[in-house]
Structure 1
Amino acid sequence: MAATAPSARKPIAAAPSYGRRDVKQHRTPNTAKIRQIHSALTTLEKQGLAEVPRKNAHGHRDFERFTLMDEMGRGSRPTPRHYTTPDPRQKRFVGIPVNFFLEGWIHILHPSEIATWLTLRFLRWQFPGEHEESGVFLYADTREKGFFLKRDAYEDGCAILRDLRLIRQVQKAPDMEDLSTNLSQDGIEPGQPPRYGTHRHQLIDERLGTDALKTAITVIERKIADLSVS
């Protein structure tokens, strides 16, 4: 995605194709989502990442009784390895609001923008106080060695996320203590900042509750209007 405007090139949740037998059925967003969920569960089952019991001898799946498996699969033993919900108190996990998926943001954002957004979420997870007070940020060494994000991808990602108002840039007060997040052998920890400054950001999770496609179109139209004026 270019840095000038978010792209709507990726498909959003839409009604799947129907055969002749399905034409008589009412096509609604709700039925489309149900069919997509059923399709996703079928795919996960084939990959060994879910189990969907059968309703009868004909093999019809009972999707309401599905069970998710561990991220590494069910395993080779008779007793499957079921998925367990991560403990939010463990900082190696990052919480993702469900609206990121339900409102279509995962379809609108480019992979590098999602990586930037997840990186900022991780920093907020690690440093919640600093995020709320003055925003979180990355220096080049941490960004490239810890998150494998190149400068252009990260800066363009932040610009798009700001345009979509998923994050806000925070102006740091001059008298506040400057902290950085640099890599160490044990992971990420506060360290000494270099001589130059950097941009701080805060996440705006409330924005995830808006329709991603409509939001992206509005931003694109505004940017086109600005170009026309200039």
Structure 2
Amino acid sequence: MAVVTSTPRTVPDRIEKRITRLESLLDLPPRGGASALQVGIEARQALLAARTSDDALREIRLRTKFLAKPSEVAGPTRIQHVSTSKGAALKVLLLALFELQARSPRPSGASLIPRTQLALERETPDAGMPSGERPSWINLAALPTADATRRSTHASSRRRNRLRQLHSALERLDQLGRIELKKAPGEHHRYEAFWVLDEGRANDSSLGLTRYTVPEFGRGRERREITTIPLEFFLHGWIDALNDNEIITYLILRLMAQAHPRVHATSGVFLTSGFRLSMFNLDRGFEAHRMLARYGLITTRPDPRRSARGTIHQQRTDGKGNLHQFQLNDAALSQDAPARVITCLQRYADHLTLNESRQRDRDEAEQNPPLPDTH
């Protein structure tokens, strides 16, 4: 009897599948309406518009302990536990923190009640955000539909697909102690009005559950206990377009930049392999920095002796070389993320180097200069 062996997918195959999923975020429903990405961004903007406070929200705060490995625990970090190659748990959790922090501040001394105030879905999730209506979770989390026949799929099928992904993400977060699925009075099922738990702590039956509060900045080194994420990360679709490894690497580089602002501003931050492993359990996943540079979210300063693949050919004379240094480029967050990521993935599949891709950007900018400001 012949043995059938599976053929591993090539890099272009993986890229094509990812591009297909990203394109589904931009597709218009067959029956009319807005794309999943448009609906998601409108939902996030609606949450911010409903905020009754003169103190404008500029960033989302994330407890650093969610990113770093607890000293007493071996293995994955808390964010790595949440992450999956195909699921949406990490993105749903970050959006849950966005939803909680976008709310109007509570009176001084009052703790934030961390139940989500959003329904799981509403009747027409693909039709855009009606004015004044509170968004639902199926709107807020712009989850891609992986169906290859997406352009001919009915809106109901899209909704079921996203709802299944959302249920799966919430189940995973509940199992890992990031949220508590507990049916609230008057709700239809336990997925509604879930509780968010402290992302920087272990929440389980032995240690108990710590419900979420918005972290407050301390002084001096205590400021390193919080890593901030610009709102543009959520409002321009980066949370939707990046994969989990890219999100984790990006957040760790933000943490390092905020912990060492002077070094970041002058030469760029760096991470030794030993520090990456001991602090963030980050090994092969750190290679995501190469794609972050292609998207423009970071600038990488490599040792000029290194090849495009990061190797030094003459180690006997040149030594092991210097580490890559990284600087954040927050201005790039204003780009339309899915379109930018699709473009960069296509160029990568076409074997364009980072420098060749940047030259392509410059050429296209010259061919399509921005329109003059008439105001």
Alignment-derived partner of residue 285 in structure 2: 153
Alignment-derived partner of residue 164 in structure 1: 295
- Aligned-residue offset at 1:100: 1.9
* 2:200 is the counterpart of 1:101: no
Equivalent residue of 1:95, what SS?
A: strand
Q: What code does the residue aligned with 1:115 have?
A: I
Residue among 120, 128, 135 paired with 2:261:
128
Alignment-derived partner of residue 8 in structure 1: 19
- Aligned-residue offset at 1:164: 0.3
Alignment-derived partner of residue 214 in structure 2: 85
Equivalent residue of 2:227, what SS?
A: coil
- Aligned-residue offset at 1:105: 1.7
Q: What code does the residue aligned with 1:210 have?
A: Q
- Range with bigger deviation, 204-213 or 2-11: 2-11
- Range with bigger deviation, 98-107 or 140-149: 98-107
Alignment-derived partner of residue 84 in structure 2: none
**Runs of 5+ unmatched residues, structure 1:** 173-193
Alignment partners' CA distance in 2, 1:148 and 1:69: 23
The share of aligned pairs that are identical, in percent, is 26
* 2:352 is the counterpart of 1:219: no
Alignment-derived partner of residue 127 in structure 2: 28
- Aligned-residue offset at 1:133: 1.2
Residue among 315, 319, 324 paired with 1:199:
324
Alignment partners' CA distance in 2, 1:26 and 1:106: 19
- Say if 1:9 and 1:137 are closer, same or farther in 2 by CA, change over 3 A: farther
- Say if 1:216 and 1:105 are closer, same or farther in 2 by CA, change over 3 A: same
- Aligned-residue offset at 1:196: 3.4
Q: What code does the residue aligned with 2:301 have?
A: V
Q: What code does the residue aligned with 1:135 have?
A: G
Alignment partners' CA distance in 2, 1:93 and 1:2: 36
TM-score by length of 2: 0.39
Alignment partners' CA distance in 1, 2:329 and 2:19: 21
Q: What code does the residue aligned with 1:95 have?
A: T
Alignment check: 8 A CA contact 2:295 2:341 kept: yes
Aligned residues: 189
**Runs of 5+ unmatched residues, structure 2:** 1-9, 26-34, 41-121, 142-162, 304-318, 357-375
- Say if 1:29 and 1:103 are closer, same or farther in 2 by CA, change over 3 A: farther
- Say if 1:114 and 1:199 are closer, same or farther in 2 by CA, change over 3 A: same
Q: What code does the residue aligned with 1:83 have?
A: Y
- Aligned-residue offset at 1:198: 0.8
Alignment partners' CA distance in 1, 2:251 and 2:298: 12
Alignment partners' CA distance in 2, 1:126 and 1:9: 37
- Aligned-residue offset at 1:93: 1.7
Alignment partners' CA distance in 2, 1:144 and 1:111: 18
Structure of greater relative contact order (alpha carbons < 8 Å, 6+ residues apart) = 1
